[in-house]
A and B are shown apart, each in its own frame.
Chain A
Amino acid sequence: MTVTPFFALAGTGLLCGLICLFVYRSLERNRRLDAQNRKLAFLLMRLEQQNVDLDQFATMAAHDLQAPLRFMVNQAHLLDMDIRELERPELAAMTNHIIEQGDRMHALMLDLLAFCRAGQDSLDIADIDIQKLVSDEIERLQAKADYQGTEVQVGNLPPSVLADRQKLAIIVANLLDNAAKFSSAYPSPVVHISAREHGSDRAWQFLVRDNGCGIEPAHRESVFRPFSRLDASKSGTGVGLSIVRKLVERHQGEVTIASADGGGTVVAFTLPKSPMELTP
């Protein structure tokens, strides 16, 4: 045996050993990654199931609590009728408090149900006549006694959009209602709705503007949290914008909020134009 073949043989052996070690380590790393991925997938599945369970619990709780609450409020109304005949205003005031709080709890339950259902029902995507939908929602808004003095202006709108009709109506109704609510206390309240192309023309961006008090930048994120209310003097439970965000995101769009020129607020939401981006 000469020296050169010995080193060549040893070198080959070493190389083979290194390759084996590399392969072993790679396999070991892959095995660990696979195990971690399986664990993550399991945790994700469990988290998703817990979210579904939580939503279903909230839905059932809100639904099943309505009947006993209705009995209580019904009885309070009957009591109120009897008390009025006794001419005891202090007792009438107490039954009124019961009725008011019962009605408030009922409104909260209905909004909790609406919030949960916004994430549960499947999307039924279709070509929607958005101009008619907006016009219907404006008519509904202006039928409310509080908003009869509110002028609603409609700017450019596309002839149609791809969306779930019922959910798009909820989005538009909530944004119009919100805009009207926050401008109605000011002189000459005006709500304006329009749309423009957005994101290299891949989406429509709808803008709902009011000339009300505006929202401080520090509070703009919190208004999307369910049951958050910036102004306790305004009616409502503070769930409208969180429902809007949930529904817009289910349509693969996004909602933003900003100050409007000249005061007030503008809420914008996008809807993709392409059906490829709107899989139910």
Chain B
Amino acid sequence: MSDSMNLGLPVDLSDPSRAIVMVDDEELDFVSASRFYKRSSLENPFIRFEHGMAFLEYLESVKRGENALPALVLMDINMPRMNGFEVVATMREDNHFAEVPVVAMLTSSTDTRDRERARESGVSGYLVKPFNPREYATFFESLAA
């Protein structure tokens, strides 16, 4: 995560019903991140969707008023069926979700093409998935600050 795009994100966590959402087909990444999330001072729900379609269905439920607008989305890029950039592009087509901050989670710091696509695709920033999961703690504390 030390290699990341500027993450001066306008994340509004003041409403505790607004979730931080992770969209990632790899459960172990969520296991690592959620362990450090629980230790952070953040109190918003931290939830996961295992693919883009499930996340887009969740957004439909947000529009129907059944769930609160996500406060932040952590979007994996390498996912089957719909990759993260396609999910973000579909999400951004709807004005309801135009302002929701999205952080692209890249697999490798050497993916220069992914980093360029991240800049162009409408995400608010990107993070490289860390080898040391303690870096999630730093990230969550930066949101809490």
B110-A70 in contact (CB<8A): no
Known: A67-B26, A78-B32, A78-B35. Contact between A73 and B108, CB under 8 A?
no
Q: Mark B47-72, 1 if CB is under 8 A from A, else 0.
A: 00000000000000000000000000
Residue of B nearest to A166 (CB): B112
Question: What is the size, in residues, of chain B's interface with A at 8 Å between Cβ atoms?
Answer: 18
Q: Mark B11-35, 1 if CB is under 8 A from A, else 0.
A: 0000000000000001011011001
Q: Mark A69-102, 1 if CB is under 8 A from B, else 0.
A: 1110111011000000000000000000000001
Instruction: Give the dominant DSSP class at A's interface.
Output: helix
Chain B residues with CB under 8 Å of chain A are: 26, 28-29, 31-32, 35, 78, 107-111, 129-134
Known: A71-B26, A75-B28. Contact between A114 and B131, CB under 8 A?
no
A67-B107 in contact (CB<8A): yes
Q: How far apart sit A208 and B133, CA to CA, in the bound complex (Å)? A: 38
Residue of A nearest to B109 (CB): A110
Q: How many pairs, one residue from A and one from B, have CB atoms within 8 Å of each other in the complex?
A: 44
B28-A63 in contact (CB<8A): no
Report the minimal beta-carbon distance from A117 to chain B, rounded to whole angstroms: 8
Instruction: Give the dominant DSSP class at B's interface.
Output: loop
Within 8 A of B (CB), among A19-75: 63, 66-67, 69-71, 73-75
Known: A71-B26, A110-B109, A113-B110. Contact between A102 and B131, CB under 8 A?
yes
Chain A residues with CB under 8 Å of chain B are: 63, 66-67, 69-71, 73-75, 77-78, 102-103, 106, 110, 113-114, 117
B131-A110 in contact (CB<8A): no
Residues of A within 8 A of B129 (CB): 70
Known: A67-B26, A71-B26, A71-B28. Contact between A77 and B110, CB under 8 A?
no
A106 CB contact (under 8 Å) in B31, B32, B131: B131
Residues of A within 8 A of B131 (CB): 69-70, 73-74, 102-103, 106
B28-A77 in contact (CB<8A): no
B133-A77 in contact (CB<8A): yes
